[in-house]
Amino acid sequence: MNPMSQAILAGGCFWCTEAAFEQLKGVGAVESGYIGGEAPTANYEAVCTGRTGHAEAIRITYDPALLSYDRLLDVFFDAHDPTTLNRQGADVGTQYRSAIFTSDPAEIAAAKARMKELNASGKFPSPIVTTLEPLTEFYPAEDYHQGFAGENPNHPYIQGVSMPKVCKIREKHADLIR
C-alpha cells in the first residue's frame, strides 16, 4: 500500500467540497472541519458567526500515486468560485473563504504556480482571491456534517448547491471519478 498524503482546502460550505472530492479515485477519506481559529470556538454555531477566524474546510486523505496534488488543485479550483472574497453563492462570511492550508514548500509553490497560471489564462472573469494560509490545527466538524450530501441527498441545499458542483467535477474530471 502506498503512503497516504493529506490536503486541507476551503472552498465555501464543506458539504459541497466534501461531496466533490469524495467521488475521486485515490481519495481514501474526506473529513469536514474547521481551521484557522482557536479550539474553543471550533464548532458550527460559533463558526457560523464569522467571528472565530475559522474556515469551513475539508481534510482530504489521498494516495499521491493515484491522484497528484496538482490534480487535487485542478478539482479544487473547478469545484468553487475562487474569485469571490469570503463568499460562495449565498454563503457569505470569512468562514466561506477560498483557502489552501499547507506548510509544505512544494505544495505552496504548486498552489502559487497554479493560481498564476489560471489568472494568466483568463479562465475566470476576475482574479483569484484564494489565500495560502499556514497549516494550523484542523478541528473535525460535528458528526452530522460528515458525509452530509451522501446521507441527505434530497436536502434542498444539497440538491440546489452541492449536486451541481459534484456534476461539474464529474464532467470536467471524468478520468478521476470512481
**Is the distance from CB of 107 to CB of 154 less than 8 angstroms?**
no
- Per DSSP bridges, beta strands 5-11 and 55-62 are antiparallel
**Is the distance from CB of 50 to CB of 38 less than 8 angstroms?**
no
**Is the distance from CB of 39 to CB of 127 less than 8 angstroms?**
no
**Is the distance from CB of 32 to CB of 141 less than 8 angstroms?**
yes
Identified catalytic residue from 13, 16, 48, 167: 13
Told to judge if 167 belongs to the known catalytic residues of this protein, a careful annotator would answer no
All three cell numbers of 10:
476551503
Residues 6+ away with beta carbon under 8 Å from 130: 77, 82, 98, 99, 100, 111, 115
Q: Residue 58 and residue 8: Cα distance in Å, rounded?
A: 6
- Which residues are marked as active site? 13
